[in-house]
Structure 1
């Protein structure tokens, strides 16, 4: 029997989301984003998307538009990144401690999370299906593997089988490296505008073919472990003056933070100090080579 994607309500807890993600690798939360946020996203991103070009290769799509640098383009990106079920699940699943020895003592340290890639993806009529892939391929992860990436796709317009709803292979996050995904097990993430697909970096998925007479539009943000390189270079994508306008939590998610124990420091200090125009002080970050 063909698998299905579990659907949760917008009141679903982080515990519920994590349980389904660990079991199935993906799920849909219906009506998670309010109409005012959707309207704001369209107002901020729609004009640029209208002027954007299609992709130029089979993976990106020849009838697909991909608009990035979202935190530079709309403040509403922060609303999506901070959705409790999304950010909460990312933190719960990624921030798992590992043992290390420091100062002759065994301690457990966990990575934090950071924003990796942001895009609006608009699939137009006559686009074919995208290759099924794992987003973890960006970091050349081998499987089985600990969870290091959690991703969200917000339906900015309705997602249907006909217009290119994202295809997901439930359970494929458990496959080994030499086990290809079964195409006949891929199911379309059909959902109404405002609903969200959330999936793990190890889950096989891909954009569906658009056989309708209009485009489908989705907005995606990924979270990864803080000790991994961001897929989209947020330091280039978002000018520092725009970063300063965000709350501190978002600033740190964009990369102005250190990952335990001290990865990502600037002048041996917390890089967030750069946004505060404060000089780095000795001892602001534990550690360092000598």
Structure 2
């Protein structure tokens, strides 16, 4: 498969991945999820996709099915969201110290990162190309500038140029806000099931057209800076019992954490105190 995007092995070094992301804005991590994880995700998310109607609008796709609240529907995402070339890269790129004065002391504050939006997205035959866009437009920010989002699209089925493989414009995170994206600049992501496309929020991209008779299915998870509002309200989307099915690192990523110097506190304390005394608990019932 050749699509103009750099590819790395799942055990590649973090420095290499970060260098590619900062230069190109996107890369493919081959075999990011193993076969067991992929099967478990299909078992948990497949029925919800089958039961979901098409989105029905020009942007989200009139031949596209979307299922959100993903962390409420499966407890199998830990190895995906914590993969070193996704979470590790997001931390390296976004968790950069911000220096502030507090009285006569100059202090370095390091922001947290958090899970923002999640969706399983299934593009069916006859779906056209999605308009090219930047996901960090949600943050109403100017470009170029510091990265506020790092996103993953895990291929639950093979991605090809013909079945809706995500269209990317490598390097477009370096553009200013006056330059519009052009369709001829975009390249399709081609990757086998289990691989992952990682990209920065400032990169222009969009779902591709599916001209085949087989749906293309992907699972996307966005990581944003902890001082920004989540795209998907994880506190409402993921019940407490589902949060408790995950380890502490993922619970904190879901929002049960405090971003320095003090965003997100509960009773002036770390909100994780609400979960700290609970064990993992039983596996939650699936969300319909």
Query: Match for residue 17 of structure 2?
Result: 17
Deviations 1:225-283 (A, max 9, x none): 000000000000000121122111111000000001111101111111111369xxxxx
RMSD: 1.4
Q: 2:199 aligned with 1:231, yes or no?
A: no
In the TM superposition, what is the alpha-carbon distance from 1:79 to its structure 2 partner? 2.1
- 8 Å CA contact retained: 2:133, 2:206: yes
Q: 2:132 aligned with 1:115, yes or no?
A: no
1: distance between equivalents of 2:74 and 2:237? 12
Query: Match for residue 41 of structure 2?
Result: 41
- 8 Å CA contact retained: 2:264, 2:271: yes
Give the TM-score normalised by structure 1: 0.93
SS of equivalent to 1:116: strand
Q: 2:159 aligned with 1:151, yes or no?
A: no
Deviations 1:47-81 (A, max 9, x none): 11100111121110000001011111001122211
Count of residues in correspondence between the two structures: 277
In the TM superposition, what is the alpha-carbon distance from 1:187 to its structure 2 partner? 0.3
- 8 Å CA contact retained: 1:5, 1:189: yes
Give the TM-score normalised by structure 2: 0.94
Q: Detail structure 1 runs of 4+ shifted over 2 Å in the superposition.
A: none
Structure 2, unaligned runs of 5 or more? 279-288
- 8 Å CA contact retained: 2:62, 2:127: yes
2: distance between equivalents of 1:119 and 1:194? 16
1: distance between equivalents of 2:138 and 2:106? 32
Query: Match for residue 245 of structure 1?
Result: 245
In the TM superposition, what is the alpha-carbon distance from 1:46 to its structure 2 partner? 0.6
Q: 2:51 aligned with 1:80, yes or no?
A: no
1: distance between equivalents of 2:245 and 2:153? 25
SS of equivalent to 1:76: coil
- 8 Å CA contact retained: 1:71, 1:78: no
- 8 Å CA contact retained: 2:63, 2:127: yes
Query: Match for residue 221 of structure 1?
Result: 221
- 8 Å CA contact retained: 2:165, 2:208: yes
- Superposition pairs for residues 81-100 of structure 1, below 5 Å? 81-100=81-100
Query: Match for residue 285 of structure 1?
Result: none
Deviations 1:174-196 (A, max 9, x none): 01011112321100000000111
Deviations 1:92-147 (A, max 9, x none): 00000111011311111110100001100000000000000000011111112201
1: distance between equivalents of 2:161 and 2:58? 20
1: distance between equivalents of 2:52 and 2:77? 19
- 8 Å CA contact retained: 1:173, 1:204: yes
Structure 1, unaligned runs of 5 or more? 279-290
- Superposition pairs for residues 172-187 of structure 1, below 5 Å? 172-187=172-187
2: distance between equivalents of 1:264 and 1:277? 19
Query: Match for residue 259 of structure 2?
Result: 259
- 8 Å CA contact retained: 1:152, 1:221: yes
